[in-house]
Structure 1
Protein backbone atom coordinates (compact mmCIF):
# COMPACT_ATOMS: atom_id res chain seq x y z
CA UNK A 1 0.00 0.00 0.00
CA UNK A 2 2.89 2.37 0.73
CA UNK A 3 5.39 1.09 -1.84
CA UNK A 4 5.24 4.24 -3.98
CA UNK A 5 5.78 6.51 -0.98
CA UNK A 6 8.57 4.28 0.34
CA UNK A 7 10.42 4.32 -2.97
CA UNK A 8 10.13 8.12 -3.18
CA UNK A 9 11.49 8.49 0.35
CA UNK A 10 14.38 6.17 -0.50
CA UNK A 11 15.18 8.04 -3.74
CA UNK A 12 15.17 11.52 -2.20
CA UNK A 13 17.22 10.30 0.75
CA UNK A 14 19.74 8.70 -1.60
CA UNK A 15 20.13 11.93 -3.54
CA UNK A 16 20.49 13.99 -0.38
CA UNK A 17 22.89 11.71 1.48
CA UNK A 18 25.10 11.13 -1.57
CA UNK A 19 25.55 14.84 -2.22
CA UNK A 20 28.60 16.17 -0.34
CA UNK A 21 27.75 18.35 2.64
CA UNK A 22 28.71 18.82 6.33
CA UNK A 23 28.15 15.13 7.17
CA UNK A 24 30.25 14.02 4.23
CA UNK A 25 32.98 16.48 5.17
CA UNK A 26 33.21 15.41 8.82
CA UNK A 27 33.31 11.69 7.97
CA UNK A 28 36.04 12.26 5.39
CA UNK A 29 37.98 14.48 7.79
CA UNK A 30 37.83 11.95 10.62
CA UNK A 31 38.77 9.12 8.26
CA UNK A 32 41.75 11.01 6.88
CA UNK A 33 43.03 12.50 10.13
CA UNK A 34 42.32 9.62 12.53
CA UNK A 35 41.86 6.48 10.46
CA UNK A 36 39.13 4.20 9.15
CA UNK A 37 37.79 3.15 12.56
CA UNK A 38 37.25 6.76 13.62
CA UNK A 39 35.49 7.39 10.32
CA UNK A 40 33.10 4.51 10.94
CA UNK A 41 32.24 5.73 14.43
CA UNK A 42 31.62 9.19 12.99
CA UNK A 43 29.28 7.60 10.43
CA UNK A 44 27.35 5.89 13.24
CA UNK A 45 27.04 9.25 14.99
CA UNK A 46 25.60 10.85 11.87
CA UNK A 47 23.14 7.99 11.45
CA UNK A 48 22.02 8.17 15.09
CA UNK A 49 21.26 11.90 14.77
CA UNK A 50 18.67 11.02 12.10
CA UNK A 51 16.37 9.72 14.85
CA UNK A 52 16.38 13.23 16.38
CA UNK A 53 15.19 14.81 13.12
CA UNK A 54 12.62 12.09 12.46
CA UNK A 55 11.18 12.47 15.97
CA UNK A 56 10.46 16.18 15.86
CA UNK A 57 9.38 16.01 12.22
CA UNK A 58 6.72 13.39 12.98
CA UNK A 59 5.46 15.25 16.04
CA UNK A 60 5.61 18.73 14.53
CA UNK A 61 4.03 17.97 11.16
CA UNK A 62 1.21 16.02 12.78
CA UNK A 63 0.44 18.99 15.05
CA UNK A 64 0.48 21.46 12.16
CA UNK A 65 -1.86 19.32 10.05
CA UNK A 66 -4.29 18.91 12.92
CA UNK A 67 -4.39 22.67 13.53
CA UNK A 68 -4.28 24.28 10.09
CA UNK A 69 -4.32 22.84 6.58
CA UNK A 70 -3.44 26.31 5.26
CA UNK A 71 -0.30 26.43 7.37
CA UNK A 72 0.53 22.92 6.23
CA UNK A 73 0.27 23.96 2.56
CA UNK A 74 2.46 27.01 3.19
CA UNK A 75 5.07 24.79 4.80
CA UNK A 76 4.84 22.38 1.88
CA UNK A 77 5.55 25.20 -0.60
CA UNK A 78 8.50 26.39 1.45
CA UNK A 79 9.83 22.86 1.63
CA UNK A 80 9.53 22.44 -2.14
CA UNK A 81 11.41 25.73 -2.57
CA UNK A 82 14.15 24.42 -0.30
CA UNK A 83 14.57 21.27 -2.39
CA UNK A 84 14.95 23.44 -5.48
CA UNK A 85 17.37 25.71 -3.63
CA UNK A 86 19.76 22.92 -2.63
CA UNK A 87 19.41 21.48 -6.14
CA UNK A 88 20.41 24.80 -7.73
CA UNK A 89 23.36 25.08 -5.35
CA UNK A 90 24.48 21.61 -6.37
CA UNK A 91 24.15 22.54 -10.05
CA UNK A 92 26.64 25.35 -9.44
CA UNK A 93 29.25 23.03 -7.89
CA UNK A 94 32.81 23.71 -9.03
CA UNK A 95 35.81 21.39 -9.20
CA UNK A 96 37.72 21.03 -5.95
CA UNK A 97 41.18 22.51 -5.60
CA UNK A 98 44.29 20.35 -5.88
CA UNK A 99 44.87 20.64 -2.14
CA UNK A 100 42.08 18.18 -1.36
CA UNK A 101 43.75 15.74 0.99
CA UNK A 102 47.41 15.15 1.63
CA UNK A 103 48.36 13.32 4.81
CA UNK A 104 47.31 9.91 6.04
CA UNK A 105 45.90 9.04 9.48
CA UNK A 106 47.63 10.87 12.31
CA UNK A 107 46.78 10.80 16.02
CA UNK A 108 44.36 8.23 17.49
CA UNK A 109 40.73 9.16 18.15
CA UNK A 110 38.43 7.57 20.73
CA UNK A 111 35.19 5.98 19.56
CA UNK A 112 33.20 8.39 21.75
CA UNK A 113 34.91 11.48 20.32
CA UNK A 114 34.33 10.33 16.75
CA UNK A 115 30.69 9.40 17.43
CA UNK A 116 29.96 12.76 19.05
CA UNK A 117 31.59 14.60 16.14
CA UNK A 118 29.22 12.89 13.69
CA UNK A 119 26.13 13.25 15.89
CA UNK A 120 26.67 16.95 16.56
CA UNK A 121 27.46 17.73 12.93
CA UNK A 122 24.18 16.26 11.71
CA UNK A 123 22.02 17.07 14.74
CA UNK A 124 22.88 20.77 14.76
CA UNK A 125 22.81 21.24 10.99
CA UNK A 126 19.86 23.56 10.11
CA UNK A 127 19.88 22.19 6.55
CA UNK A 128 19.23 18.72 7.93
CA UNK A 129 16.28 20.15 9.87
CA UNK A 130 14.84 21.69 6.72
CA UNK A 131 15.43 18.51 4.74
CA UNK A 132 13.51 16.31 7.16
CA UNK A 133 10.70 18.83 7.49
CA UNK A 134 10.58 18.82 3.69
CA UNK A 135 10.49 15.04 3.58
CA UNK A 136 7.72 14.70 6.16
CA UNK A 137 5.74 17.54 4.61
CA UNK A 138 5.87 17.06 0.86
CA UNK A 139 6.65 13.37 0.42
CA UNK A 140 5.18 11.45 3.34
CA UNK A 141 1.43 11.73 3.60
CA UNK A 142 0.49 13.10 7.06
CA UNK A 143 -2.15 10.38 7.28
CA UNK A 144 0.39 7.59 6.81
CA UNK A 145 0.26 5.44 9.99
CA UNK A 146 2.75 6.38 12.68
CA UNK A 147 4.21 2.87 12.62
CA UNK A 148 4.99 3.20 8.91
CA UNK A 149 6.53 6.65 9.42
CA UNK A 150 8.64 5.24 12.25
CA UNK A 151 9.74 2.48 9.87
CA UNK A 152 10.86 5.17 7.42
CA UNK A 153 12.85 6.75 10.25
CA UNK A 154 14.66 3.51 11.06
CA UNK A 155 15.44 3.00 7.38
CA UNK A 156 16.78 6.56 7.00
CA UNK A 157 19.02 6.21 10.06
CA UNK A 158 20.40 2.80 9.07
CA UNK A 159 20.88 3.74 5.41
CA UNK A 160 22.66 6.97 6.39
CA UNK A 161 25.02 5.15 8.75
CA UNK A 162 25.80 2.46 6.17
CA UNK A 163 26.43 5.05 3.45
CA UNK A 164 28.89 7.00 5.55
CA UNK A 165 30.60 3.81 6.72
CA UNK A 166 31.23 3.17 3.03
CA UNK A 167 32.50 6.73 2.66
CA UNK A 168 34.91 6.13 5.56
CA UNK A 169 36.07 2.92 3.93
CA UNK A 170 36.72 4.52 0.56
CA UNK A 171 38.09 7.90 1.57
CA UNK A 172 40.72 6.45 3.86
CA UNK A 173 42.47 5.58 0.57
CA UNK A 174 44.42 8.47 -0.92
CA UNK A 175 43.82 7.64 -4.59
CA UNK A 176 40.04 7.55 -4.16
CA UNK A 177 40.05 10.92 -2.38
CA UNK A 178 42.09 12.48 -5.16
CA UNK A 179 39.81 11.08 -7.87
CA UNK A 180 36.69 12.42 -6.21
CA UNK A 181 38.30 15.82 -5.82
CA UNK A 182 38.70 15.95 -9.61
CA UNK A 183 35.31 14.53 -10.70
CA UNK A 184 32.97 15.00 -7.73
CA UNK A 185 31.46 18.24 -9.05
CA UNK A 186 29.86 16.41 -12.00
CA UNK A 187 28.20 13.97 -9.63
CA UNK A 188 26.96 16.88 -7.53
CA UNK A 189 25.52 18.64 -10.58
CA UNK A 190 23.61 15.52 -11.62
CA UNK A 191 22.10 15.19 -8.16
CA UNK A 192 21.21 18.89 -8.26
CA UNK A 193 19.28 18.53 -11.52
CA UNK A 194 17.19 15.70 -10.07
CA UNK A 195 16.45 17.64 -6.87
CA UNK A 196 15.34 20.71 -8.84
CA UNK A 197 13.01 18.54 -10.94
CA UNK A 198 11.53 16.99 -7.80
CA UNK A 199 11.04 20.41 -6.22
CA UNK A 200 9.20 21.72 -9.29
CA UNK A 201 6.99 18.62 -9.40
CA UNK A 202 6.13 19.00 -5.72
CA UNK A 203 5.38 22.73 -6.07
CA UNK A 204 2.96 22.09 -8.97
CA UNK A 205 1.18 19.17 -7.33
CA UNK A 206 -1.59 19.61 -4.80
CA UNK A 207 -2.20 16.83 -2.33
Structure 2
Protein backbone atom coordinates (compact mmCIF):
# COMPACT_ATOMS: atom_id res chain seq x y z
CA UNK A 1 0.00 0.00 0.00
CA UNK A 2 2.87 2.34 0.84
CA UNK A 3 4.45 1.75 -2.58
CA UNK A 4 1.06 2.21 -4.25
CA UNK A 5 0.50 5.60 -2.61
CA UNK A 6 3.99 6.65 -3.68
CA UNK A 7 3.16 5.50 -7.21
CA UNK A 8 -0.01 7.64 -7.26
CA UNK A 9 1.84 10.70 -5.95
CA UNK A 10 4.66 10.34 -8.48
CA UNK A 11 2.12 9.76 -11.26
CA UNK A 12 0.32 12.99 -10.37
CA UNK A 13 3.53 15.00 -10.64
CA UNK A 14 4.56 13.35 -13.91
CA UNK A 15 1.13 13.74 -15.51
CA UNK A 16 1.04 17.48 -14.80
CA UNK A 17 4.37 18.08 -16.55
CA UNK A 18 3.73 19.90 -19.85
CA UNK A 19 3.70 17.54 -22.81
CA UNK A 20 2.05 16.87 -26.19
CA UNK A 21 -1.11 15.43 -24.60
CA UNK A 22 -1.68 18.52 -22.48
CA UNK A 23 -0.95 20.83 -25.42
CA UNK A 24 -3.45 18.94 -27.60
CA UNK A 25 -6.11 18.99 -24.87
CA UNK A 26 -5.60 22.75 -24.52
CA UNK A 27 -5.84 23.29 -28.28
CA UNK A 28 -8.98 21.22 -28.79
CA UNK A 29 -10.78 22.64 -25.75
CA UNK A 30 -10.08 26.22 -26.82
CA UNK A 31 -10.90 25.69 -30.48
CA UNK A 32 -13.77 23.23 -30.30
CA UNK A 33 -15.17 23.29 -26.78
CA UNK A 34 -15.32 21.21 -23.63
CA UNK A 35 -16.90 18.08 -25.14
CA UNK A 36 -14.15 17.74 -27.76
CA UNK A 37 -11.52 18.41 -25.08
CA UNK A 38 -12.92 15.56 -22.98
CA UNK A 39 -13.10 13.31 -26.05
CA UNK A 40 -9.45 14.10 -26.73
CA UNK A 41 -8.31 12.99 -23.28
CA UNK A 42 -10.50 9.88 -23.58
CA UNK A 43 -8.47 9.03 -26.68
CA UNK A 44 -5.29 9.66 -24.71
CA UNK A 45 -6.51 7.30 -21.97
CA UNK A 46 -7.25 4.60 -24.56
CA UNK A 47 -3.71 4.92 -25.92
CA UNK A 48 -2.32 4.64 -22.39
CA UNK A 49 -4.24 1.37 -22.01
CA UNK A 50 -2.52 0.09 -25.15
CA UNK A 51 0.86 1.10 -23.69
CA UNK A 52 0.01 -0.61 -20.39
CA UNK A 53 -0.93 -3.84 -22.16
CA UNK A 54 2.18 -3.70 -24.35
CA UNK A 55 4.44 -3.16 -21.33
CA UNK A 56 2.79 -5.97 -19.36
CA UNK A 57 3.10 -8.44 -22.25
CA UNK A 58 6.65 -7.40 -23.08
CA UNK A 59 5.75 -5.92 -26.47
CA UNK A 60 7.14 -2.50 -25.55
CA UNK A 61 10.53 -4.15 -25.08
CA UNK A 62 10.53 -5.01 -28.79
CA UNK A 63 9.99 -1.35 -29.63
CA UNK A 64 12.77 -0.26 -27.29
CA UNK A 65 15.20 -2.88 -28.60
CA UNK A 66 14.50 -2.22 -32.29
CA UNK A 67 16.06 1.00 -33.52
CA UNK A 68 14.04 0.73 -36.75
CA UNK A 69 10.66 0.33 -35.02
CA UNK A 70 11.50 3.08 -32.55
CA UNK A 71 12.44 5.44 -35.40
CA UNK A 72 9.28 4.65 -37.40
CA UNK A 73 7.02 5.43 -34.45
CA UNK A 74 9.14 8.43 -33.52
CA UNK A 75 9.00 10.13 -36.91
CA UNK A 76 5.31 9.39 -37.52
CA UNK A 77 4.51 10.82 -34.09
CA UNK A 78 6.74 13.85 -34.70
CA UNK A 79 5.14 14.59 -38.08
CA UNK A 80 1.65 14.29 -36.60
CA UNK A 81 2.45 16.71 -33.78
CA UNK A 82 3.98 19.16 -36.26
CA UNK A 83 0.90 18.82 -38.48
CA UNK A 84 -1.44 19.66 -35.57
CA UNK A 85 0.76 22.60 -34.59
CA UNK A 86 0.84 24.01 -38.12
CA UNK A 87 -2.94 23.63 -38.42
CA UNK A 88 -3.34 25.59 -35.20
CA UNK A 89 -1.10 28.41 -36.46
CA UNK A 90 -2.97 28.50 -39.78
CA UNK A 91 -6.24 28.79 -37.87
CA UNK A 92 -4.87 31.85 -36.07
CA UNK A 93 -3.68 33.34 -39.36
CA UNK A 94 -7.05 32.79 -41.07
CA UNK A 95 -9.03 34.17 -38.14
CA UNK A 96 -6.79 37.23 -37.92
CA UNK A 97 -7.24 37.85 -41.66
CA UNK A 98 -11.01 37.53 -41.23
CA UNK A 99 -10.95 40.07 -38.41
CA UNK A 100 -8.98 42.54 -40.52
CA UNK A 101 -11.56 42.15 -43.30
CA UNK A 102 -14.37 42.86 -40.86
CA UNK A 103 -15.66 39.29 -40.81
CA UNK A 104 -16.56 37.30 -37.65
CA UNK A 105 -13.45 35.77 -36.16
CA UNK A 106 -12.37 33.51 -33.35
CA UNK A 107 -15.72 31.79 -33.17
CA UNK A 108 -15.84 28.13 -32.21
CA UNK A 109 -14.91 25.87 -35.11
CA UNK A 110 -16.40 22.41 -35.54
CA UNK A 111 -14.60 19.16 -34.85
CA UNK A 112 -16.52 16.00 -34.06
CA UNK A 113 -15.93 14.31 -30.73
CA UNK A 114 -14.87 11.22 -32.67
CA UNK A 115 -12.16 13.20 -34.48
CA UNK A 116 -10.99 14.68 -31.17
CA UNK A 117 -10.85 11.18 -29.70
CA UNK A 118 -8.66 9.88 -32.51
CA UNK A 119 -6.37 12.91 -32.28
CA UNK A 120 -5.79 12.14 -28.61
CA UNK A 121 -5.34 8.45 -29.37
CA UNK A 122 -2.81 8.92 -32.18
CA UNK A 123 -0.81 11.66 -30.46
CA UNK A 124 -0.13 9.41 -27.48
CA UNK A 125 -0.03 6.05 -29.26
CA UNK A 126 2.56 7.12 -31.85
CA UNK A 127 4.93 8.52 -29.22
CA UNK A 128 7.52 5.80 -28.48
CA UNK A 129 8.75 7.77 -25.47
CA UNK A 130 5.47 6.89 -23.73
CA UNK A 131 6.15 3.19 -24.35
CA UNK A 132 9.64 3.58 -22.90
CA UNK A 133 8.18 5.43 -19.91
CA UNK A 134 5.72 2.63 -19.10
CA UNK A 135 8.38 -0.02 -19.60
CA UNK A 136 10.76 1.67 -17.14
CA UNK A 137 8.34 3.36 -14.69
CA UNK A 138 5.87 0.59 -13.81
CA UNK A 139 8.45 -2.12 -12.91
CA UNK A 140 9.91 0.14 -10.21
CA UNK A 141 6.72 -0.41 -8.20
CA UNK A 142 6.39 -4.16 -8.82
CA UNK A 143 8.21 -6.68 -6.65
CA UNK A 144 11.06 -8.28 -8.57
CA UNK A 145 9.98 -11.78 -7.51
CA UNK A 146 6.44 -11.26 -8.84
CA UNK A 147 6.17 -12.85 -12.28
CA UNK A 148 2.46 -12.06 -12.76
CA UNK A 149 1.31 -9.38 -15.20
CA UNK A 150 -1.58 -8.43 -12.90
CA UNK A 151 0.44 -5.80 -10.93
CA UNK A 152 1.41 -4.14 -14.23
CA UNK A 153 -2.24 -3.79 -15.19
CA UNK A 154 -3.22 -2.58 -11.72
CA UNK A 155 -0.59 0.15 -11.78
CA UNK A 156 -1.22 1.00 -15.43
CA UNK A 157 -4.98 1.34 -14.94
CA UNK A 158 -4.39 3.42 -11.79
CA UNK A 159 -2.11 5.74 -13.77
CA UNK A 160 -4.74 6.04 -16.51
CA UNK A 161 -7.50 6.87 -14.01
CA UNK A 162 -5.36 9.55 -12.35
CA UNK A 163 -4.42 10.89 -15.79
CA UNK A 164 -8.08 11.11 -16.83
CA UNK A 165 -9.15 12.81 -13.59
CA UNK A 166 -6.38 15.42 -13.73
CA UNK A 167 -6.81 16.13 -17.44
CA UNK A 168 -10.60 16.33 -17.09
CA UNK A 169 -10.15 18.85 -14.29
CA UNK A 170 -7.75 20.79 -16.53
CA UNK A 171 -10.28 20.86 -19.39
CA UNK A 172 -13.04 22.00 -17.01
CA UNK A 173 -10.74 24.71 -15.67
CA UNK A 174 -10.15 25.98 -19.20
CA UNK A 175 -13.92 25.98 -19.73
CA UNK A 176 -14.49 28.03 -16.56
CA UNK A 177 -12.14 30.72 -17.86
CA UNK A 178 -13.44 30.34 -21.42
CA UNK A 179 -15.24 33.70 -21.48
CA UNK A 180 -11.99 35.54 -20.79
CA UNK A 181 -10.04 33.18 -23.04
CA UNK A 182 -12.45 33.70 -25.94
CA UNK A 183 -11.35 37.33 -26.33
CA UNK A 184 -9.74 37.61 -29.79
CA UNK A 185 -6.43 38.96 -28.47
CA UNK A 186 -6.19 36.22 -25.83
CA UNK A 187 -7.18 33.57 -28.38
CA UNK A 188 -4.44 34.69 -30.74
CA UNK A 189 -1.79 34.43 -28.05
CA UNK A 190 -2.94 31.10 -26.61
CA UNK A 191 -3.47 29.40 -29.98
CA UNK A 192 -0.16 30.72 -31.33
CA UNK A 193 1.71 29.51 -28.26
CA UNK A 194 -0.08 26.14 -28.33
CA UNK A 195 0.69 25.70 -32.03
CA UNK A 196 4.37 26.49 -31.46
CA UNK A 197 4.47 24.12 -28.49
CA UNK A 198 3.03 21.26 -30.55
CA UNK A 199 5.59 21.89 -33.29
CA UNK A 200 8.31 22.11 -30.64
CA UNK A 201 7.29 18.77 -29.16
CA UNK A 202 7.30 17.30 -32.65
CA UNK A 203 10.87 18.50 -33.24
CA UNK A 204 11.91 17.28 -29.79
CA UNK A 205 10.44 13.85 -30.52
CA UNK A 206 12.13 13.68 -33.93
CA UNK A 207 15.50 14.44 -32.33
CA UNK A 208 15.00 12.00 -29.44
CA UNK A 209 17.63 9.29 -29.20
CA UNK A 210 16.81 5.60 -29.27
CA UNK A 211 18.07 5.14 -25.72
TM-score between both structures, scaled by the size of structure 1? 0.59
Partner of 1:121: 123
Partner of 2:159: 156
Partner of 1:147: 150
Partner of 1:37: 35
Distance of aligned partners of 1:56 and 1:62 in 2 relative to their CA distance in 1, 3 Å threshold: closer
Distance 1:14 1:54 in 2: 17
| Residues 1:23 and 2:25 are matched in the alignment | no
Distance of aligned partners of 1:37 and 1:139 in 2 relative to their CA distance in 1, 3 Å threshold: same
Contact 1:32–1:104 under 8 Å retained in 2: no
For residue 27 of structure 1, report the CA deviation from its aligned partner: 0.3
Partner of 1:109: 111
- RMSD after superposition: 3.0
For residue 126 of structure 1, report the CA deviation from its aligned partner: 2.3
Secondary structure of the residue aligned to 1:53 is: helix
Partner of 1:50: 48
Partner of 1:87: none
Q: Which runs of 5+ in 1 are unaligned?
A: 65-98, 182-207
Distance 2:51 2:60 in 1: 14
Distance 1:59 1:142 in 2: 16
Secondary structure of the residue aligned to 1:50 is: helix
- Return the match for 1:132 from 113, 126, 134: 134
For residue 156 of structure 1, report the CA deviation from its aligned partner: 1.6
Secondary structure of the residue aligned to 1:58 is: helix
Distance of aligned partners of 1:61 and 1:138 in 2 relative to their CA distance in 1, 3 Å threshold: farther
For residue 132 of structure 1, report the CA deviation from its aligned partner: 0.9
For residue 139 of structure 1, report the CA deviation from its aligned partner: 3.2
How many residue pairs get aligned? The number is: 141
Distance 1:6 1:176 in 2: 38
Partner of 1:166: 169
Contact 1:9–1:135 under 8 Å retained in 2: no
TM-score between both structures, scaled by the size of structure 2? 0.58
Partner of 1:188: none
Distance 2:112 2:60 in 1: 39
